[in-house]
Amino acid sequence: MKSRCFTKFCGITTIKDAKNAELAGCDAIGFVFVRKSKRYVSIRNCQNIIDSLAPTTLTVALFSNNTKDEIQQVLNTCRIHVLQFHGNESADFCSYWNKPYWKAIPMADNIDPLEYASHYADAQGYLIDNFGIEKSGGSGSNFDWDKIPSQIDDKWILAGGLNPKNVLKARKKTKINNFDVSSGIEISPGKKSIKLMKKFIRKLND
């Protein structure tokens, strides 16, 4: 019997999209706190969205080389369950907040994913993505899935260019059961499509 996949919809910017994401059946919702991102969300807006969510929906805050003050301001106001780091943050910095965290691993020719991950041994998850935000994810384009090591476990999360048309192929090719999608379920940057969200989940779990 096929196990159900874990799915995170990232770059949520409105209550409507958040509610539709829950309706579609995602497990986690991501909020981007990188100001140059087209999907940047303010602290106040983020908490308003979170207030509309079911308590069981996992909330994830995405940062990329943010300062400690910036991260603390988010945590002072927003009910965040997991921190997701896409920059050059050290393991000590990532674990400083005493919250579960995921570390993005940029899939580049000069990077060994397993060696990179070994520097973040206490991470709850490793998100493998193409170059994008600060050259460490958020590009919206996929990479050569053959470069993913065969030794990975359930802590690994696949991102980068996923959409309803290719996600089932991605699952079969990589054997990964955790997925993070943003642009592949959008009408335009920061505006999600309920139709695409539902189709993404259905393709994975039907």
User: Catalytic site residue 78?
Assistant: no
Mention every residue, 6+ apart, whose C-beta is less than 8 A from residue 195: none
**Selected catalytic residue, list 5, 10, 26, 78:** 10
- Which is nearest to 32 in space by CA: 132, 113, 178, 144? 132
Could you report the per-residue pLDDT of 18-68, keeping only the tens digit for each? 999 999 999 999 999 999 999 999 999 999 999 999 999 999 999 999 999
* 8 Å CB contact between 9 and 181: yes
Q: Classify residue 68 as exposed, middle or buried by CB count within 10 Å of its CB (0-12, 13-18, 19+).
A: exposed
Average pLDDT (167-195) is 94
Chain segment 117-161, per-residue pLDDT in tens: 999 999 999 999 875 444 433 444 566 788 888 888 899 999 988
Give the active site residue among 5, 26, 46, 129.
129
Active-site residue, 10 included: yes
pTM summary value: 0.92
Please identify which residue in the block is written with the tokens 């140059």.
Answer: 36
Average pLDDT, the chain: 91
* Domains assigned to the chain: 6-205 (3.20.20.70)
